[in-house]
Amino acid sequence: MAQPRRFRTANRRYRFLFWPMMAVYVAIILGTKFLIDDDKAPDWLNAACAIAATLPLFIVLYAIRRQTDETDEYTRMRYLKALRDAGLITSGLLFLVGFLQIFDVIGDIEVFWFGPVFFFAFGLARLPECFGRTV
Partner 1 sequence: MFWPDGVKLGMKNILRILRTEKGWSQAELADRLDVSRQSVNAIETGKYDPSLPLAFAIARLFGRSIEEIFDDEAESAEAAE
- Interaction site with partner 1 (CB under 8 A): 2-3, 5-9, 71-75, 77-78, 129, 132-135
| Nearest-approach distance from CB 126 to partner 1, in angstroms | 10
Residue 46: partners with Cβ closer than 8 Å, 6 or more residues away: 36, 38
Residue 75: exposure state from Cβ atoms within 10 A (0-12, 13-18, ≥19): middle
| Nearest-approach distance from CB 67 to partner 1, in angstroms | 12
Q: Which is nearer to partner 1, 85 or 94 (CB)?
A: 85
Q: Which is nearer to partner 1, 107 or 132 (CB)?
A: 132
